[in-house]
Amino acid sequence: MDIIIRENYKLMSKYAAEIIAGYVRSKPDCVLGLATGSTPIGTYQELVRMHREEGLDFSQVKTFNLDEYLGAGIDLEKPYPMDQSYARFMHEELLKNINIKKENIHIPDGRTKDPKKFCIWYEEEIKKAGGIDLQLLGLGGDGHWGFNEPGSSLGSRTRVVVLTQQTLDDNYEAFYKKANIERSEMPHFAITMGIGTILEARNILMIVNGARKADMVAKCLEGPITSQITASAIQLHGGEISVVLDEGAASKL
Ligand code: GLP
């Protein structure tokens, strides 16, 4: 496992984007697992810059997102401003700004009528694409990956989950509140890739910033592997792992 510490958020984001760009350059039809949250925004901005200024080519890249709120999701042709779905987030922050083909984008469908069936289909699509080459991950305040809340099995697959109070609070502050959405209107359920699904990605890139996550970073990387901190499963992965941190996030290592 490579742990890379950069001075600040901007440099952390640049480093992470460079790792992703390396995959895209060396394997133009690579399969990327993507994440949401405030952490990857800088990384996505840097990838957009590389696409515009350096011609980084996403025309053959396939993407699979980790998760989506259940009940949320957009018609990408007609996004509406109140929508806080991860589909909208991905569209705004990255996908509409690069030359990726629409048919190569996969984001769990938060508006599916049959979530169970959808989750099985999603897993099959990942397999059909040949598996994920590089999975980008953030770290939830309670140590989760995707929406694999404390207590999720480390062998779990794509499924419907109930969000914990902490995640609802964190994500309300970061996204829903800013969009003037009432707390009660925020979705409480989500679809997420499981920890077992994530661990099947060939390589992993985790990015974390800010001193408020320093304790969780230390527990995740140096503490026991436990379903109470699902990101601690990173220690079980046998591929290439890069953990890119800013100084705040690394301060308890
Ligand atoms: C959400 C996402 C996670 C993400 C986490 C951290 O819960 N489902 O994938 O890692 O938020 O978010 P942030 O980067 O805003 O701290």
Q: At 186, which CATH number?
A: 3.40.50.1360
Check if the interface score ipTM surpasses 0.90.
yes
Range of the domain at 158: 2-246
Q: Which amino acid is at 230?
A: T
Q: For residue 92, is it within any domain? A: yes
Test site for ligand 1: of 12, 13, 34, 39, most ligand atoms within 8 A of the Cβ: 39
Q: For residue 69, is it within any domain? A: yes
Determine the pLDDT at residue 186. 84
109 assigned to active site: no
Determine the pLDDT at residue 146. 97
Q: For residue 66, is it within any domain? A: yes
Q: Say yes or no: CB of residue 41 within 6 Å of ligand 1.
A: no
Above 60 in pLDDT, residue 76? no
What average pLDDT is seen over the chain?
94
Q: For residue 163, is it within any domain? A: yes
Determine the pLDDT at residue 23. 98
Determine the pLDDT at residue 72. 65
SS3 content of the chain, % helix, strand, coil (to 5): 40, 15, 45
Above 90 in pLDDT, residue 136? yes
d(CA 184, CA 105) in angstroms, rounded, equals: 30
Q: For residue 59, is it within any domain? A: yes
Q: For residue 251, is it within any domain? A: no
Q: Whose CA is nearest to atom 3 of ligand 1?
A: 146
Of 142, 169, 215, 247, the catalytic one is 142
φ/ψ of residue 193, rounded to 5: -60, 150
Q: Categorize the per-residue pLDDT at 185 as very low, low, confident or very high, splitting at 50, 70 and 90.
A: confident
Looking at the chain, the whole-number percentage of residues with pLDDT higher than 90 is 83
Above 80 in pLDDT, residue 166? yes
pTM: 0.95
Which residue, 19, 23, 108, is CA-closest to 61?
23
Q: Categorize the per-residue pLDDT at 182 as very low, low, confident or very high, splitting at 50, 70 and 90.
A: confident
**Contact by Cβ (8 Å): 203, 178:** no
* Number of independent structural domains in the chain: 1
Contact partners, residue 230, CB within 8 Å, separation at least 6: 143, 144, 145, 148, 149, 150, 152, 154, 195
Determine the pLDDT at residue 75. 59
Among 74-83, 84-93, 145-154, 213-222, name the one with the lowest average pLDDT.
74-83
75 assigned to active site: no
Determine the pLDDT at residue 82. 56
Q: Which amino acid is at 74?
A: I
Above 90 in pLDDT, residue 74? no
Test site for ligand 1: of 9, 13, 36, 147, most ligand atoms within 8 A of the Cβ: 36
Q: For residue 19, is it within any domain? A: yes
Torsion of CA 64, 66, 71, 72, to 10 degrees: -70
Q: For residue 136, is it within any domain? A: yes
Determine the pLDDT at residue 173. 86
Looking at the chain, the whole-number percentage of residues with pLDDT higher than 70 is 96
232 vs 176: which has the higher pLDDT: 232
pLDDT (tens digit, 9 = 90+) per residue, 25-71? 999 999 999 999 999 999 999 999 999 999 999 999 999 999 999 97
Above 90 in pLDDT, residue 204? yes
φ/ψ of residue 131, rounded to 5: 85, 165
169 assigned to active site: no
Q: Categorize the per-residue pLDDT at 83 as very low, low, confident or very high, splitting at 50, 70 and 90.
A: confident
